[in-house]
Amino acid sequence: MSASKNQIVTQDPNDIVSEDAIRMMIVPVRGVQVMLDRDLAALYGVEVKYLNRQVKRNIERFPSDFMFQLTKSKFRSRFHLSEADRKYIVDKGLETIRSHCEDFIRTRLAPANPSNDGKQTPMRGHPVFKAQHACACCCCGCLANWWHVPCGVPIPADRQHGIVDFLYGDPKCLGERSVHFGAKISTL
């Protein structure tokens, strides 16, 4: 089987992956375009642990910025949507939830010096609040530490939209690790 111009042959010559499918696997993480190890392993038809093992064994063959590992946070991993949160999302609808998310980011996070910074996002009370804490998008300090968004300057509208897309669960943002309302929140 021959591959056309817009297709890539995987390790098995009978498996062809389109360039569009590969582009969908490339996601922004902390401002860098990356491919997650699970997607790269799938392209090669191997388990993730074997791909990672081979990279570590042959690290000298790769550029220094070839890979990085996302840190996990015990604090952030404890935020999950409850049944009440899921019901609220269903009752209100995803468009309303997105509107709330946009409003929270614009009013509580985007100003140069948000009032009550560090405490402006409650731990509970709305599914978006849980998503913000789970993904370190809850205050200026977390945005600066985890996402390299500078404190003391307003967050531009395009960056606000990026935060909302990430929190809302845009499928191009980290796949299963992004926040999908109606699913379990997971951390970076």
pLDDT tens, residue by residue, 156-177: 988 888 888 778 764 333 233 3
Q: Compute, in degrees rounded to 10, the torsion defined by CA atoms 166, 167, 169, 170.
A: -30
Final residue in a domain of this structure, among 24, 40, 61:
61
Question: Residues of 17-50 as b/e, b for ≥16 C-beta within 10 angstroms?
Answer: eeeeebeebebebeeeebebeebbbbbeeeeeee
Tell whether 1 is covered by a domain. Answer: no
Tell whether 107 is covered by a domain. Answer: yes
Q: In total, how many domains does the chain have?
A: 2
Co-location of 110 and 165 in the same domain: yes
Map residue 1 onto helix, strand or coil: coil
What's the domain range around 30? 7-61
Read off the pLDDT of residues 19-67 as tens digits, 9 standing for 90 and up.
887 877 776 665 667 777 777 888 888 888 888 888 888 888 877 777 7
Map residue 121 onto helix, strand or coil: coil
Co-location of 169 and 79 in the same domain: yes
Sort strands 26-29 and 32-35 into parallel, antiparallel or unpaired: antiparallel
Closest CA to 18 of 3, 8, 31: 8
Read off the pLDDT of residues 64-110 as tens digits, 9 standing for 90 and up.
777 766 556 777 777 777 888 888 888 988 889 889 999 999 999 99
| Tokens standing for residue 82 | 């409850």
Co-location of 85 and 131 in the same domain: yes
Confidence class for position 123, pLDDT limits 50, 70, 90: confident
Co-location of 31 and 87 in the same domain: no
